[in-house]
Amino acid sequence: MMCQSEARRGPELRAAKWLHFPQLALRRRLGQLSCMSRPALKLRSWPLTVLYYLLPFGALRPLSRVGWRPVSRVALYKSVPTRLLSRAWGRLNQVELPHWLRRPVYSLYIWTFGVNMKEAAVEDLHHYRNLSEFFRRKLKPQARPVCGLHSVISPSDGRILNFGQVKNCEVEQVKGVTYSLESFLGPRTCTEDLPFSPATSCDSFKNQLVTREGNELYHCVIYLAPGDYHCFHSPTDWTVSHRRHFPGSLMSVNPGMARWIKELFCHNERVVLTGDWKHGFFSLTAVGATNVGSIRIYFDRDLHTNSPRHSKGSYNDFSFVTHTNREGVPMRKGEHLGEFNLGSTIVLIFEAPKDFNFQLKTGQKIRFGEALGSL
């Protein structure tokens, strides 16, 4: 009986032994990988991670038995060279299209993203020499009447992702996903010519922004889709005193990605304009995105975005308050302020009395000039 059972178990033992050797080899190999430098390890594990997510479920499960773990989808996406791709896309957009090719190329884009060319100042597609000119097309003056009854209007076309009061120094990029107000706007510095006085270290960042007693801090997030009008305007009468530029990633900012990546707006390149309006602090932030490395502010010729080299987490400050100009740059409601190269996000953060009311619904479409809220 013993001999027969051992005879039956013989093939199983040999199979187990045969399977054991690859596992030992894989463990040794993974041990060698663990001794590598972090960039080298990331480079070597990246192809396996891609295969892990592309192949049918469980195809690479044996690797997990020997200690290998795939890079998360978020980390994998962050490793994509979006800045390089955006610069390449920007170069492609500048290429002049042959006259005969313009109509089919632009017509495909119009059909894909639902662009309304009847609102464009120039409807003739042959007028636009390249994709960049087409993206930055101007509108007819009567296409976007500016609402004069409300104190704050939409600075651009887009979709409302979120709005409301800022609570616990955090802002919602989409419902349920927040980011730090200080990480987004950057820390206070003594050199900033902002409209609020320095605060003690025990005060929260939110309290440093609120300049008047009884006021609250509000926010509104507007997502610009690729088919939307790409210019943005002043949302109210205010004075811009300071600009802060954060070089960073250029990840997609569509609502699905915003739900997926926490503090997405804090990772991406952005330009923060701060100043004051009749109720105190006011800021407008233009957030870059994939293929939207170019953020232009019309009155700021020194601003250059999506540069080839930058330090992670760094920022550049520029003051519009000088010895000859003590106030900054005055902006009228509806005045042209800047433009994106494709589509992106505008974030408004401002101080207002407690009876300020938004005239909005989350997810609604909005056009430049329409009311955001008023007292």
pLDDT band of residue 137 (cuts 50, 70, 90) is confident
Total tally of structural domains belonging to the chain? 1
Residue 233 bears catalytic tag: yes
Find the catalytic residue in 150, 230, 233, 242.
233
Is 311 among the domain residues?
yes
* Residue ranges making up the domain that contains 215: 152-186+203-374
- pLDDT tens digit string along 218-262? 999 998 888 888 899 999 999 999 999 998 777 777 666 667 677
Residue 344 bears catalytic tag: yes
Angle, vertex CA 350, rays to CA 344 and CA 352, nearest 5: 145
- pLDDT tens digit string along 150-173? 889 999 999 998 899 988 887 776
User: In 3-state terms, what secondary structure has residue 340?
Assistant: strand
Residues in CB range of 9: below 8 A, 6 or more apart: none
Is 308 among the domain residues?
yes
**Statement: residue 3 has pLDDT above 60:** no
Is 238 among the domain residues?
yes
Is 198 among the domain residues?
no
Is 365 among the domain residues?
yes
Is 4 among the domain residues?
no
- With b for 16 or more beta-carbon neighbours within 10 A and e for fewer, the 133-153 pattern comes to ebbbbebeeebbebbeebbbb
**Statement: residue 121 has pLDDT above 70:** yes
User: In 3-state terms, what secondary structure has residue 329?
Assistant: strand
Is 125 among the domain residues?
no
Is 305 among the domain residues?
yes
DSSP state of 26: H
Find the catalytic residue in 86, 154, 234, 344.
344
CA distance 368 to 154: 5
CA distance 223 to 161: 7
26-35, 44-53, 95-104: which has the highest mean pLDDT? 95-104
- pLDDT tens digit string along 253-293? 766 666 767 777 777 888 999 999 999 999 999 988 776 55
Find the catalytic residue in 86, 157, 219, 276.
157
**Among 299, 144, 157, CA closest to 223:** 157
- pLDDT tens digit string along 180-206? 888 888 887 654 544 444 444 435 787
Instruction: Between 175 and 37, name the one with better pLDDT.
Output: 175
Q: Model-level pTM? A: 0.76
Phi, psi (degrees; rounded to nearest 5) at 155: -75, -10
CA distance 337 to 153: 14
